[in-house]
Amino acid sequence: MRMMQKMGMKIDAIQDVSEVIIRTSTKDIVIVEPSVTAVVVQGQKMYQVAGGEVREAQAQAQVVPSGPTDADVQLVAQQTGKSAEESKKALLDAGGDLAKAILQLKSANP
């Protein structure tokens, strides 16, 4: 332990870990009740996972709700003179297509 400290290594056990999930594009590797240690070497933090029951499962598709970005809403609002709410609605209706949203708002009656 002293030798590691002289080399600039710091080791800390992480308590009460119930599971570790390693997610790849094709599968999830779940390690139940592992022993986890954080090791810091020259400012870089690494985690060591040992023991525990290992299970593999097919990766589940992550559905992330997305909407127009604030920058897109501002751009449409600036180009059309419409409010942020109207611009956001137009972007949602246009499926995020900036040009389509701008044309839709410009062609609508004022």
Name residue 27's beta-bridge partners.
58
The residue type found at 24 is T
Low-confidence spans in the chain with pLDDT less than 50: none
What is the set of domains in the chain, with CATH numbers?
Answer: 2-58 (2.20.70.30), 70-105 (1.10.8)
Using CA atoms, how far residue 63 sits from 8, 26, 38, in Å, is: 42, 15, 31
pLDDT tens-digit series, residues 57-66:
877 665 555 7
Q: What DSSP letter does each residue of 9-65 carry, written as one string?
A: EEEEEEPS--EEEEE-SSEEEEEES-EEEEEEETTEEEEEEE-SEEEEEEPPPP---
Q: What is the pTM of this model?
A: 0.47
Query: Contact, 73 vs 88, CB < 8 A?
Result: yes
